[in-house]
C-alpha cells in the first residue's frame, strides 16, 4: 500500500487561487478512535478561502490541507473506533481539516453512515453547513418554536439549511436578506421563508419591523459583521439574540454606531464558530443532526442544494465560484 497520496496544496503555504495545485503528500494513518476514509467528494466553505490566504486561525490539531467536510468509504479504523464503524462502511463527516485529499484520518465520533437515498455529492454538502446552522439555532441562540428568526445571506449554504430548519421547527416568522432579487425569491419560493428582502435596494430593517408588527425579530443569524451591526441592533426585538458567524462585511464599526439597544432592548450579541470546538461538542451536534435532520434528508423534506459539482482537478475554478459570491447552495468537488 502506498505511503503517499494526492492532496490539494498551496504554493508558498498561502496565497491567491492560482497557488492551489495537487501534490503528493504523506498518507495519514488511523489511530485510536479514528477511521481512514477514502474520499469520494468534498465540500467547499468560505473558511477555505480565508485559510488559503493565511487569514484563518486553524485549530492546532488540524492538518495544513484545506477542507472540513467530505463523503467516502472507510478503508481502515484505529484500535478504538466508535461502535458501528468498520472498514467498508460508506460515510460522510466533519473534520478539523484535510478533506481536499484522496484520504483523511478523522474521528469516528464525527462520522455518519451514508444513507442509500443520497449521493456522495449530497452527503459531502451536509456536515459543515447543517451542523453550523444547528449550532447557531439551538446551542447558541436557544431557538424555540414560536420565535421569529432572520437569516442573512439567504442563498448561502448555512442559511439554506437554517431557513429550512426554522420553517420545519415552528418559527413564527422566518425572514431573510440577500443582495439579489433572485436570491430573495429563492428563499421564499424554494426554502419556505415568510419573506426575504433585498439588502442592496431596500431598507431591510424597515421591512423586518413591518413584518413583525414593529416588534423586531427574536433571533438574527449574521455572516456580514460590521456593515450590518447597527442595522441588526435596529431590527432585533427586545430580549433578542444576534449571532455572528462571519465578517464578510468587515470588522471595523462605522463612526456613530449607536449601541444603546444593548440596554434598551436587553440585546444579547454572541459570536461563534464550529471548527474551534472540541470533539465532544462537535459529537453532540453530530448526534443532533442524525436524530433531527437525517430522516428529513432521506425522505426529501429537507433540500440539499448543490450549485456546482466539479472534479477536484478544477479546484481553482471551484474556489473562484465561492469567491464570486454568485452561488445558491454548495460547491462540491469529486475525486475519481
Q: Does residue 247 carry a pLDDT above 90? A: no
Residues 260, 293, single domain; the answer is no
pLDDT of res. 304: 94
Mean pLDDT rounded to a whole number for the chain: 94
Count how many domains the chain has: 2
Under the banding of pLDDT at 50, 70 and 90, the label for residue 87 is very high
Residues 263, 287, single domain; the answer is no
Provide, rounded to the nearest whole percent, the portion of the chain with pLDDT above 70. Answer: 100
Residues 259, 279, single domain; the answer is no
| Cell output for 57 | 486561525
Q: Does residue 1 carry a pLDDT above 80? A: no
Residues 19, 148, single domain; the answer is no
Measure the CA dihedral 56/62/68/69, to 10°: -170
Residues 58, 93, single domain; the answer is yes
CATH of the domain at 291: 3.90.180.10
> For 26-44, how does the pLDDT look when each residue is reduced to its tens digit (9 = 90+)?
999 999 999 999 999 999 9
| Average pLDDT value for residue range 59-79 | 94
Measuring CA to CA, how many Å separate 41 from each of 103, 106, 125?
11, 15, 9
Residues 85, 155, single domain; the answer is no
Which residues are paired to 38 by β-bridges?
73, 103
In this structure, the chain runs to a length of 336
Q: Indicate the residue among 219, 245, 271 that finishes a domain.
A: 271
Residues 193, 214, single domain; the answer is yes
Residues 41, 148, single domain; the answer is no
> For 299-314, how does the pLDDT look when each residue is reduced to its tens digit (9 = 90+)?
999 999 999 999 999 9
> For 175-216, how does the pLDDT look when each residue is reduced to its tens digit (9 = 90+)?
999 999 999 999 999 999 999 999 999 999 999 999 999 999
**pTM of the predicted model over 0.85:** yes
pLDDT of res. 205: 98
Q: Which of 50-59, 160-169, 234-243 has the lowest mean pLDDT?
A: 50-59
CATH of the domain at 194: 3.40.50.720
Range of the domain at 67: 4-126+275-334
Q: Indicate the residue among 246, 271, 296 that finishes a domain.
A: 271
Q: Indicate the residue among 252, 271, 290 that finishes a domain.
A: 271
Amino acid at each position: 500500500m502506498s505511503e503517499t497520496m494526492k492532496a490539494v496544496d498551496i504554493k508558498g503555504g498561502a496565497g491567491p487561487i492560482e497557488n492551489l495545485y495537487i501534490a503528493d503528500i504523506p498518507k495519514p494513518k488511523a489511530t485510536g478512535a479514528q477511521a481512514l476514509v477514502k474520499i469520494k467528494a468534498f465540500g467547499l466553505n468560505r473558511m477555505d478561502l480565508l485559510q488559503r490566504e493565511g487569514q484563518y486561525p486553524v485549530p492546532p490539531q488540524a492538518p495544513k490541507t484545506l477542507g472540513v467536510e467530505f463523503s467516502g468509504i472507510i478503508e481502515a479504523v484505529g484500535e478504538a473506533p466508535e461502535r458501528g464503524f468498520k472498514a467498508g462502511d460508506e460515510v460522510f463527516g466533519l473534520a478539523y481539516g484535510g478533506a481536499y485529499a484522496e484520504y483523511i484520518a478523522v474521528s469516528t465520533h464525527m462520522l455518519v453512515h451514508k444513507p442509500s437515498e443520497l449521493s456522495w455529492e449530497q452527503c459531502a454538502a451536509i456536515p459543515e453547513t447543517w451542523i453550523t446552522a444547528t449550532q447557531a439555532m439551538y446551542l447558541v441562540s436557544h431557538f424555540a418554536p414560536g420565535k421569529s428568526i432572520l437569516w442573512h445571506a439567504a442563498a448561502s449554504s448555512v442559511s439554506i439549511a437554517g431557513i429550512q430548519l426554522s420553517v420545519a421547527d415552528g418559527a413564527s416568522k422566518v425572514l431573510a436578506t440577500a443582495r439579489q432579487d433572485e436570491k430573495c425569491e429563492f428563499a421564499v419560493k424554494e426554502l419556505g421563508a415568510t419573506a426575504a428582502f433585498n439588502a442592496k435596494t431596500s431598507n431591510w430593517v424597515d421591512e423586518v419591523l413591518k413584518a413583525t408588527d414593529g416588534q423586531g425579530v427574536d433571533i438574527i443569524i449574521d455572516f456580514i459583521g460590521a456593515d450590518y451591526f447597527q442595522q441588526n441592533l435596529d431590527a432585533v426585538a427586545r430580549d433578542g439574540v444576534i449571532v455572528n458567524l462571519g465578517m464578510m462585511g468587515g470588522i471595523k464599526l462605522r463612526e456613530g454606531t449607536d449601541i444603546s439597544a444593548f440596554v434598551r432592548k436587553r440585546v444579547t450579541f454572541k459570536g461563534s464558530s464550529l471548527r474551534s470546538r472540541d470533539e465532544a461538542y462537535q459529537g453532540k451536534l453530530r448526534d443532533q443532526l442524525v436524530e433531527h435532520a437525517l430522516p428529513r434528508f432521506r425522505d426529501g423534506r429537507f433540500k440539499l442544494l448543490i450549485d456546482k459539482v466539479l472534479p477536484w482537478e478544477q479546484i481553482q475554478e471551484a474556489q473562484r465560484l465561492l469567491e464570486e459570491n454568485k452561488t445558491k447552495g454548495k460547491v462540491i468537488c469529486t475525486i475519481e
